[in-house]
Chain A
Amino acid sequence: MDRTITPPLSDEVVESLRAGDRLLITGTIFTGRDAAHKRLVELIDKGEPLPIELRGQIIYFVGPTPPKPGEVIGSAGPTTSGRMDAYSPKLLDLGLKAMIGKGLRNEAVKDALKRNKAVYLGATGGAGALLAQRITSAKVVAYEDLGPEAIRELQVEDFPVVVINDMYGGDLYVEGRKKFERKVDL
């Protein structure tokens, strides 16, 4: 059975997570990608308040397709996280506890996870139709003008993720790959 977590996340919950753990998220999470991150960090740099409270929260790097009539949200899988590397440490320093995305993070982000007791979670890239099924409501809470890049508050139920980077330096991308790397027999 995969373990369920619900934000806001405490230090104790994050301390118990290890790279490779499979989790289900139930509760409220926020979306944000390139353009929204840029705006949030501009506010932080100016010392101005943010449109959402980050403490204990989870940000999901996603820009969904437009919902069809009657749909809660369109397809909604993760985008490549590395583009947020320039911004994530500042959000983690403000108490953000987890990010959901796909792909490699840089050392500055991994250091920020350690110093702030936070985690980086992976959702399956390209499984946008499947993951949308686990989102039960969505509303824009900031930057509506950014369209797919606006910040949305999502209610999710049993949203499947795996811990990629934990707060102890564990890295599933490195460990998983090492396990299956082999010499080529040509």
Chain B
Amino acid sequence: MRELDVAQITEAVASLAVKGCSNLGDDVVAFFEKAAKREESETGRDILAQLLENAQLAKDMNRPLCQDTGLAVVFLEVGQDVHLVGGSVEEAVDEGVRKGYTEGFLRKSVVTDPTGARKNTGDNTPAMLHTRIVPGDRVRVIVAPKGGGAENMSALAMLKPSQGRQGAVDFIVGTVSKAGPNPCPPMIVGVGIGGTFEKAAYLAKHSLLREVGSANPDPRLAELEDELERRCNALGIGPAGLGGTTTVMDVFVEEMPSHIASMPVAVNIQCHSARHKEVVL
């Protein structure tokens, strides 16, 4: 059986966090370029130009794109034929977050006792870790720093099955409408439909890892995504919420079967600083 030292996971998490916070994905940059040409609002075009300049500066100067370098959301896909050695995997991930956020001069934005003292943990731990066991003998590490502003505008509803597709559409578009300028549009809308309460939220979060501009392989969901995108852009919120035709970069929907009594719909909003990097060990 292949052995992998968890220290490698620590190193991967640290370097992906730092790289992710200052290097915006090519898909997002390409979107800004395209949108800056077709956005109908002059102010909106100006905001998109600022975002392009910001992305270039962050990359050239190795500076965070945004001061909110987020909670460190980490996805681990662990091959079932790998033997992890050298200590606890969860501790290794937290150590990676500690190292990346400290040595990389990223902001520490985690507090304990959320309803009370709200004391900063000082090193941005714990990571928000999601682990899956998958076939193979590799370990895929994905780090997706998630800012608070957009996360705060996310929502989950346990809808009635009788509300159907239209009920889901209304809830999703309503969530974006209510968010308005707060989550730093143009945003990505991650949607999870079905499963249980927590599975729906997980699907919504996981969908945000998709490439901007990519189509859902399921034609039924691709059509739903397209409709949601057009409805969201018709809201007029625009770049930075100052009015315009570019409100969302993309809408991603992930779906799974649900209980006969349930129709959970989760909406996870991602700001335009859509950061995620990965490596396979």
Q: In chain A, what residue has the closest Cβ to B22?
A: A129
> Once the chains are docked, how many angstroms separate the CA of A74 from the CA of B61?
11
Say whether A124 contacts B47, CB under 8 Å. yes
Mark each residue of chain B from 232 to 272: 1 if its CB lies under 8 Å from any CB of chain A, else 0. 00111110111111000000000000000000000000011
- Chain B positions 10-29 with a Cβ under 8 Å from a chain A Cβ: 22
Say whether B244 contacts A103, CB under 8 Å. no
Question: Is B203 interfacial (CB 8 A cutoff)?
Answer: no
Question: Could you say which of A39-47, A89-97, A171-179 contacts chain B?
Answer: A171-179
Main secondary structure of the interface of A (DSSP, over half): loop
Question: Is B214 interfacial (CB 8 A cutoff)?
Answer: no
- Interface size counted on chain A using CB atoms at 8 A: 46
Min Cβ gap B51→A in Å is 6
- Chain A positions 82-106 with a Cβ under 8 Å from a chain B Cβ: 82, 102-104
Say whether A127 contacts B50, CB under 8 Å. yes
Say whether B108 contacts A147, CB under 8 Å. yes
Chain B residues, CB < 8 A from A172:
242-243
Interface size class of B (residues with CB under 8 A): 35 or more
Question: Could you say which of B126-134, B180-188, B204-212 contacts chain A?
Answer: B180-188
Say whether A179 contacts B107, CB under 8 Å. no
Q: Identify which of B43, B50, B227, B235 contacts A130 (C-beta below 8 A).
A: B50
Q: Identify which of B51, B105, B230 contacts A67 (C-beta below 8 A).
A: B105
Say whether B242 contacts A122, CB under 8 Å. yes
Min Cβ gap B242→A in Å is 5
Question: Is A3 interfacial (CB 8 A cutoff)?
Answer: no
> Once the chains are docked, how many angstroms separate the CA of A49 from the CA of B139?
56
Chain B residues, CB < 8 A from A179:
41, 236, 243
Question: Could you say which of A58-66, A111-119, A136-144 contacts chain B?
Answer: A58-66
Question: Is A154 interfacial (CB 8 A cutoff)?
Answer: no
